[in-house]
Amino acid sequence: MDAISVTALAARFPARSFISKAEFDEYIRENRDRVDARYRHELEFASTKPEISWPGTCAPCLRPTTYTSRTKGGERLPDGRVLPNWREELACDCEDRINARGRAMLHFAESVTGLLPAMRVLAFGPSTPVSRRIGQTATLIHRTRMLVAGGAYRLDLPDACVQLALAPDYLNHVPPLDAALAELRRVLARGGQLVFTVPFRVDLANTISRTDDLPHVNGLLPTYYGASIHDIGWDVLSRLRKAGFAGASAYSYWSEELGYLGPFNIIITGTA
C-alpha cells in the first residue's frame, strides 16, 4: 500500500456509533448476515500455532506493519485450533508494539476527537503506550487515582482544565464508577471529550457491579480495585448523561486492514 493510500485509510476511523442498546440491537438484527459472515471470516485466522501474523496498516503510525497475535488464551474451536483474543493480543510491529485496543484509542483520539498539540489531555489510570504516545503530541496530565477529600471523591485538578480525558481499560477497576464519571466531567472544559475503553458487555442492558463486599473507609468505597469490579453494560451511556455529559455514544469498530478484529469492539465517549 502506498503512502497516500495509508494516509487516506488512517484518516477514517472505521466505526458506527450507538446511543443505546435498543439502537445497537436493531442494527444487529438488520445486519445479522453481515456480522455472522465477519465472524466466519475471522475463523480462517484460527491456528494451532502459538503465534500468527499477517500484513496490514498501523493507523496511529501511518505506516505498513506486520501484525502478530499470540493464540494463547483465545477461543478454542472444536477442531483444536484457537481464535486469538484480537483485542488484547494483536500487536503491530511498530516501536511500541501496541495492541489492537490501544491502537484504536490512539486512532480515535486523532481522527475523531481531533487531537491537537495545544490540547491539555488527562490520562486517567496507569501509564500505557497510549498515554505516552498522546504525550508526544499534546500536554499530558496523568492521574492514577481519585482522592478522598472532605468525605467525597475528587481528582486533584481544577474545574474545566483539560480538553480530552482518556481512560484505557481502567474504569471497570474503579468501584465508585458514577463518582469517577462525575469527576471526569468536572475537569473537562465545555465541548471536551471523555474517551474510554472497558471490556464492554454488549449483551447487558445494565452494568453488573461487585462492590457489596468491598471494604469501606468512612463509608466510602476504595478508589481502585485490582480485579475488574464492573461488567460494564449499556446503561453506562445514561450514567454519563446523569454525570453531566451533554452527549454519550458507544462506537463499534472493525477493520481487518487496520488490525481491529474481534466481535463488537467498543470505544465509549462522553461530550462535556
**102 in helix, strand or coil?**
helix
Residue 10's pLDDT is 52
Q: Which three cell numbers stand for residue 268?
A: 465509549
The answer as to whether 136 is a domain residue is yes
The answer as to whether 231 is a domain residue is yes
The answer as to whether 139 is a domain residue is yes
Tell me the C-alpha distance between 27 and 147, whole Å: 40
Residue 217's pLDDT is 84
Residue 5's pLDDT is 47
Residue 88's pLDDT is 94
Question: Which residue matches cell numbers 495509508?
Answer: 6
CATH number for position 236: 3.40.50.150
The answer as to whether 205 is a domain residue is yes
Angle, vertex CA 30, rays to CA 26 and CA 35, nearest 5: 105
The answer as to whether 130 is a domain residue is yes
Q: Say what the pTM is.
A: 0.93
Residue 203's pLDDT is 97
- Structural domains counted in the chain: 1
Range of the domain at 190: 104-271
Question: How far is CA 54 from each of CA 24, 95, 233, 259, rounded to the nearest angstrom?
Answer: 31, 17, 33, 10
Tell me the C-alpha distance between 106 and 97, whole Å: 13
Q: Where are the alpha helices (DSSP H) in 109-234?
A: 129-135, 177-187
The answer as to whether 56 is a domain residue is no
pLDDT tens for each residue of the chain, 272 residues long: 444 444 445 568 999 999 999 999 999 999 999 999 999 999 999 999 999 999 999 999 888 999 999 999 999 999 999 999 999 999 999 888 999 999 999 999 999 998 999 999 999 999 999 999 999 999 999 999 999 988 899 999 999 999 999 999 999 999 999 999 999 999 999 999 999 999 999 999 999 999 999 998 888 999 999 999 999 999 999 999 999 999 999 999 999 999 999 989 999 999 99
45 CB burial (10 A radius; 0-12, 13-18, 19+): middle
The answer as to whether 35 is a domain residue is no
The answer as to whether 167 is a domain residue is yes
